[in-house]
């Protein structure tokens, strides 16, 4: 079963359920006391440049990235198509997600803080996100400062100037768990100053706390079959489910995957939410070709399930 298919089903299921839980992961940064702030007047020498203008200018110049940047193209030039979408053509592209002009070091010249990601052409999903800073000289030429803040496993969704110098980053967690929906999306603002050539966090949390979530566990599957019309048989599955999480689940859906039929049965009526510690036998019926040798039975509920490898079982249908 590919991850793409799993996620595709997760989106389908999430759309049909009312979800209310979330996931999050923790970077290993620790905020500490604030350093002396740069002069707030430094950024007021002239109006800040519009971020969209900066994105275009930065993309056109494609300055060399810091040696610490995670892109496989590190040390070389970017390839960039001038917009926030993934670059065109083969290879690795540096994508400019967010850019802001802010003063990092308290002198009279603002710097540029950019949230970038490396994207493999045709793949479309950023696989390395990072934040770095650039200087810009009087001619407008960008030069990367040798500092990189890695973002994973979280993601940055907004970058803003910190009024007293530095930058405010808005983080969100990586929404990749099966069963997530938009209600899982939460954010956290963190402020950073520039100190000794590096970003240093001064306010905000260090992680987006996990919300308690139900953990569906499939412990047993039995089935019966009756002949149907033509080559199809009607299968009735009895799926023993438990909720091993600390909160009640949402409605539970059962779906089936076979060698010839992907995710059948997913649109059947949801089964009632399961209380903490509850175990229940769920009946699920599906018509499959009588020759089907085996099926994988999946269970889903609203909100991300923090432990997904116990949500399914493979069963033999032969005999
Ligand atoms: Ca400056
Ligand atoms: Ca589970």
Domains (range + CATH), the chain: 23-203 (no CATH), 216-316 (2.60.40.10)
The alpha carbon of 123 and the centre of ligand 2 are apart by a number of angstroms equal to 28
* Dihedral, CA of residue 25, residue 27, residue 30 and residue 34, to nearest 10: -100
Smallest-distance ligand from the CA of 241: 2
Using the mean position of ligand 1's atoms as its centre, give its distance from the Cα of residue 263 in Å.
55
CA of 55 to the centre of ligand 1 (A): 19
End-to-end C-alpha distance for the chain, whole angstroms: 24
| Ligand 2 center from residue 223 Cα (angstroms) | 22
Higher pLDDT pick, 70 / 190: 190
How much distance in Å is there from the Cα of 108 to the middle of ligand 2?
Answer: 55
In angstroms, what is the span from residue 241 Cα to ligand 2's centroid? 10
For residue 291, the CA-to-ligand 2 centroid distance in Å is 30
Q: How far away, in angstroms, is 112 Cα from ligand 1 center? A: 9
**What is the rounded distance in angstroms from the CA atom of residue 228 to the CA atom of residue 319?**
16
| Closest ligand by atom to 101 CA | 1
Q: Are 159 and 113 in contact (CB under 8 A)?
A: yes
Q: Between these two residues, 44 and 277, which has the higher pLDDT value?
A: 277
> How many angstroms does the Cα of residue 196 sit away from the middle of ligand 1?
13
Q: Ligand 1: distance of its center to the CA of 109 in Å? A: 4
Residue with the larger pLDDT of the pair 127 and 234: 234
The rounded Å distance from CA 260 to ligand 1 centre is: 61
Mean pLDDT of 12-21: 35
The mean pLDDT value for 92-117 works out to 90
**How remote is the CA of residue 143 from the centroid of ligand 1, in Å?**
13
Q: Which residue has the higher pLDDT, 318 or 312?
A: 312
Residue 44 CA to its chain's centroid (Å): 36
56 vs 35 pLDDT, higher one:
56
User: Which of 104-108, 167-171, 195-199 has the least mean pLDDT?
Assistant: 104-108
Tell me what pLDDT residue 154 has.
85
Residues 193, 196, 199, 201: is their CA dihedral positive or negative? negative
Q: Is 256 helix (H, G, I), strand (E, B) or coil?
A: strand
CB of 106 closer than 8 Å to CB of 77? no
The ligand with the least distance to the CA atom of 38 is 1
Q: What does the pLDDT read at residue 308?
A: 86
Share of the chain above pLDDT 90, in %: 38
Strand order across the beta sheet in which 111-120 lies: 92-102, 111-120, 128-136, 142-150
Average pLDDT, the chain: 78
Residue 192, helix vs strand vs coil: strand
Tell me the CA–centroid distance for residue 216 and ligand 2, in Å.
4
Please report which helix (H) or strand (E) contains residue 11, including its range: helix 3-16
The share of the chain scoring above pLDDT 70, in percent, equals: 69
- Characterize the bridge pairing of strands 253-258 and 279-289: unpaired
Binned at pLDDT 50, 70 and 90, residue 80 comes out as low
Q: What is the 220 CA–ligand 2 centroid distance (Å)?
A: 14
- pLDDT band for position 124 (cuts 50, 70, 90): low
- Beta strand segments in 121-184, E: 128-136, 142-150, 155-161, 167-172
In angstroms, rounded to a whole number, what is the distance separating the alpha carbons of residues 279 and 120? Answer: 44
Q: Which ligand is in closest contact with the Cα of 41? A: 1
- Structure confidence at residue 180 as a pLDDT band (50, 70, 90): low
């Amino acid at each position: 079963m590919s991850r793409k298919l799993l996620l595709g089903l997760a989106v389908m299921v999430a759309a049909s359920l009312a979800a209310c839980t979330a996931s999050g992961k923790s970077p290993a940064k620790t905020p500490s006391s604030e350093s002396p702030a740069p002069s707030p007047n430094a950024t007021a020498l002239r109006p800040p440049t519009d971020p969209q203008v900066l994105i275009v200018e930065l993309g056109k110049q494609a300055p060399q990235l810091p040696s610490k940047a995670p892109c496989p193209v590190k040390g070389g030039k970017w390839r960039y198509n001038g917009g926030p979408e993934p670059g065109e053509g083969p290879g690795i592209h540096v994508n400019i997600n967010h850019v802001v002009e802010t003063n990092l070091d308290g002198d009279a010249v603002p710097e540029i803080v950019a949230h970038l990601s490396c994207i493999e052409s045709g793949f479309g999903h950023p696989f390395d996100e990072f934040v770095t800073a650039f200087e810009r000289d009087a001619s407008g030429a960008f030069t990367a400062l040798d500092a990189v803040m890695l973002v994973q496993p979280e993601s940055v969704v907004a970058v803003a100037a910190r009024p007293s110098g530095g930058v405010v980053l808005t983080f969100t967690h990586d929404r990749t768990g099966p069963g997530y929906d938009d209600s899982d999306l939460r954010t956290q603002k963190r402020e950073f100053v520039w100190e000794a050539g590096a970003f240093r966090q001064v306010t905000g949390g260090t992680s987006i706390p996990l919300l308690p979530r139900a953990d569906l566990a499939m412990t047993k599957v039995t089935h019966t079959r009756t002949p149907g019309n033509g080559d199809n048989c009607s299968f009735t599955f009895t799926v023993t489910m438990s909720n091993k999480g600390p909160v009640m689940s949402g409605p539970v859906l059962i779906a089936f995957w076979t060698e010839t039929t992907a995710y059948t049965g997913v649109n059947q009526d949801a089964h009632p939410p399961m209380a903490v510690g509850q175990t229940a036998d769920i009946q699920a019926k599906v018509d499959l070709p009588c020759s089907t040798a085996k099926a994988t039975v999946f269970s889903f509920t609203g909100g991300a399930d923090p432990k997904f490898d116990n949500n399914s079982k493979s069963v033999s249908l032969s005999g």
